[in-house]
Amino acid sequence: MMIMKRKTSLALLIGSAILISGCSDGEDGKNGEDGKPGGDGDPGTSGLHIDMANEAIATINNASYADGIITVDFELENQQGVGLFGLSPENQYHDFRFSLAQLETTQGSELKQWISLLNETTNDEGTTFEQGFEQIKNCAECLVDHKDGSYTYTFSTNLTTATDPAGVVFEPALTQRIAIEMQFEYASGHELAENAHYNWIPATNSTEGVETRDLVTLETCYTCHQPDSLKAHGGRRLDMENCQSCHNGIVTDPNAVSVELGHMVHAIHMGPNREGKDAEGNVVPMPYTIAGYGGDHAFDYPAFPTKPFMDCATCHVDDENLADKDLWLANANANACTGCHTDSPAQHKSDKNPALTCTDCHSAAVHTDHKKPYEAAEAYDVEVSNVTINNNEIRFDAKIIDTNGELVAKEEVYKQGYSKPYMVVSWDVEKDYPDYNQSPYSERRIDIKDDTKATWNADNTVSVVAIMNFPTDIASRSLEVLPVLKVCFEEGTMTRTACDADNAYPAYVQTDAYRAVLSDPDAVVADRRAIVDEATCFGCHSKEFYHDSNGVNCIACHTNDKSLKGNGTADNGVALLKSTSFMYKAHKAEGHDNGHGGSGTILKTDCTTCHSAVEGWGGKNYGFELGRNSGQAHALPSTQKPAAGEVVETWYASSDVAACMSCHQKYMSDAAMSHMRSNGGYFGANKDADHMVDVNDAGNAKDAKEACATCHSPEKVMEHHGFSL
């Protein structure tokens, strides 16, 4: 069966409904009057008026060129395929515009860049430029509304006679891109925004065999960014193709700082790590700073949280659908290079290389060398065996094994400052690991370079003996020994070396933890509940996180009830506290917590950025369902809005309450807290309401019978945060 997609006429639907309702077994009504003859007036409309639409989808169907003039056929429709008529130059809310750009290839190279047309000057001297637009409000006669959601627009600019301020000459034999930008902001607060583009060769009016420049996709950007956070320029710019057209090789800010897409993206993602040299030659911070409509803006906040920093594959993915996926390796745009390398290429400029083609001397492949130690370490294994526990003493043997089955020597295992080669012992894996008050992680982590706890044998095996506070029934509980250690490699290689070598570069070994039930060798040890999709964490952070990067097993140390620590002071001088649990740190981490301010780059409210979605017994389960982690006590500060002279204390919360408060505690009203408590949630102090009698606060949190999930389904949680599943 062939299914045809058609625009539906509301008038036709209404008329059909009337005809159907008029059919009955009763008496026919009177005959209507004969229709009047048609005149020369406007044709009838078909579809929905655009001002009544909840969304608009734009498609450019065709473009033609003749004698310097471009004509565009496009259509607007909603998600149901209903055409949207009524786009009008006279409507004050209809901000609808077109841009043009052509794809130019540098002579003698493969370097292709989009170059904008219709350019405008951006400073009084007329020396800096930005892309201009044709707007329907400036040429009412250019737009034809066919009254069914389809339109024709004829450019008012004659490209063969117009003089471009930037000196760009229109070349009809080159690939040209027409881009649509629409952003309707109604007085009611309703908004419609959409982009569309069309690539073709005007000289032949053909879309066949056109050159492209496809290096990255917007979907790759969504690995770290949420779609809403990339709605640039007030929500007007939505698509990568529109960004490429405008942010091209000739546009700058009024101070002549390049805003070409490659340069800008690289410079922004350097964040506070971007450096340069001052007039005296000193290396100083040089965050990317551009002049916008709101003044100068410096991208000096964390922007690219990856290590190794130059993991270009984070954005330049190996996608066969990208026609130019390897172009950045073969013939890099030097303007993109200077986004990171600030002043160094300028020092290389000479008569021999006036165009600053960095790849004439440097292979872009060197950027991939920096992750080779991580790729090597990722394939290493740590084998734990002969585990016994007696009277709070644990013994086991360990081997660190490379891909050839050889054992890593002690001097090749990294230990410096905070980075120590730990074996972290835990239990109750399926219950979010042991209570901190029972056994803090400072006891449970064993430094295998600590001679009082570990012995390196002649064959490079390690024998461990350590004391910690185990539960009396530890033999019947799930037990985990998690290796968290780095091995040293020669920088930029996969060759292992001693860690005291000048070119030593440490990288974390990525290996599964040892898990067992000591009293039952055949037991299948339960995993921790599926809550975080580890792939999404590595998608943003690359090979290494802040510290201790063996997978995303942070909760082995950052348990729910881990002790609080200082968090500066409130405006009134009261010392604040913050949680150090994994959930709290993940929600509040710098770069994650942009729900109430921040850069807006990452919208914390899109929970699916990090949380996993797995098929469960009742369908798809998400990592943020409420009610899925009962029986836990989460340590939280008693308040984040202390009164003058108040002492912030450690209180405990039940699981669902803690999840909400990890983000919202500072902004929660008394009514919100009362609502949670009345539905079974717990958040309390170490004393009762009269502060007279000690009570089991953590125990009360564990015993809470939260009913939040009754109303707050995953769909509702997402809806509250402005998203939908």
- pLDDT, tens digit (0-9, with 9 covering 90-100), for 342-378: 765 555 554 545 555 676 777 666 778 888 999 999 9
Neighbours of 73 (CB within 10 A): 17
Residue 611 neighbours by CB under 8 Å, 6+ apart: 531, 532, 533, 622, 623, 624
Higher pLDDT, 327 or 642: 642
Residue 174 neighbours by CB under 8 Å, 6+ apart: 102, 103, 104, 201, 211
pLDDT tens digits, 377-400: 999 999 999 999 999 999 999 999
Q: What one-character-per-residue DSSP string does 359-376 give? A: GGT--TTHHHHTTHHHHH
Task: State the pLDDT confidence band at 19, using cuts at 50, 70 and 90.
Answer: very low
Q: Is 171's pLDDT higher than 90? A: yes
For residue 558, give the DSSP letter. Answer: S
How high is the pLDDT of residue 595? 54
Q: Is 553's pLDDT higher than 90? A: no
Bond from prior residue into 308 cis (ω within 30 degrees of 0): yes
pLDDT, mean of residues 515-530: 90
User: Quick one: which of 380, 373, 374, 372 has its CA closest to 398?
Assistant: 380
Report the run of H or E that residue 20 belongs to, with start and end. Answer: helix 10-21
How high is the pLDDT of residue 5? 35
How high is the pLDDT of residue 301? 78
Tokens 């794809």 map to which residue?
Answer: 103
Task: State the pLDDT confidence band at 27, using cuts at 50, 70 and 90.
Answer: very low
pLDDT tens digits, 607-630: 877 887 887 767 788 888 899 888
Task: State the pLDDT confidence band at 341, using cuts at 50, 70 and 90.
Answer: confident
φ/ψ region of 180 (left if φ > 0, alpha if ψ in -120 to 50, else beta) reads beta
**C-alpha to C-alpha distance for 116 and 387, rounded to whole angstroms:** 67
How high is the pLDDT of residue 608? 79
How high is the pLDDT of residue 342? 78
**C-alpha to C-alpha distance for 165 and 129, rounded to whole angstroms:** 8
Task: State the pLDDT confidence band at 235, using cuts at 50, 70 and 90.
Answer: low
**C-alpha to C-alpha distance for 721 and 621, rounded to whole angstroms:** 18
**C-alpha to C-alpha distance for 259 and 239, rounded to whole angstroms:** 17
How high is the pLDDT of residue 2? 34
Q: What are the C-alpha distances in Å from 393 to residues 171, 324, 476?
A: 79, 59, 16
For residue 117, give the DSSP letter. Answer: S
pLDDT, mean of residues 113-121: 92
pLDDT tens digits, 240-278: 888 888 898 889 999 999 999 889 999 988 888 888 888
Q: Is 168's pLDDT higher than 70? A: yes
Q: What one-character-per-residue DSSP string does 630-697 give? A: TT--EEEES-SSPPTTPPP-EEEE-HHHHHHHHHHGGG--HHHHHHHHHTT--EE-SB-TTS-SB--H
Strands, DSSP E only, in 278-407? 283-285, 289-292, 295-298, 381-390, 393-401
Contact 483, 511 (CB under 8 A): yes
Q: Which two tokens stand for residue 572?
A: 């009134």
**C-alpha to C-alpha distance for 490 and 619, rounded to whole angstroms:** 48
Contact 516, 525 (CB under 8 A): yes
**C-alpha to C-alpha distance for 255 and 303, rounded to whole angstroms:** 23
Task: State the pLDDT confidence band at 704, using cuts at 50, 70 and 90.
Answer: very high
Contact 147, 198 (CB under 8 A): no
**C-alpha to C-alpha distance for 308 and 158, rounded to whole angstroms:** 50
Contact 453, 463 (CB under 8 A): no
Q: Is 29's pLDDT higher than 60? A: no
Across the chain, mean pLDDT equals 85
How high is the pLDDT of residue 24? 41
Contact 133, 97 (CB under 8 A): yes
Q: Is 64's pLDDT higher than 80? A: yes
pLDDT, mean of residues 634-645: 94
pLDDT, mean of residues 38-63: 84
Q: Is 33's pLDDT higher than 50? A: no
Q: Is 41's pLDDT higher than 50? A: no
How high is the pLDDT of residue 357? 66
pLDDT tens digits, 293-316: 778 888 887 777 777 777 788 888
Q: Using a pLDDT cut of 90, give the percent of the chain over it.
A: 51
Contact 644, 571 (CB under 8 A): no
Q: Which two tokens stand for residue 478?
A: 């799930």
Q: Which two tokens stand for residue 157?
A: 């600019």
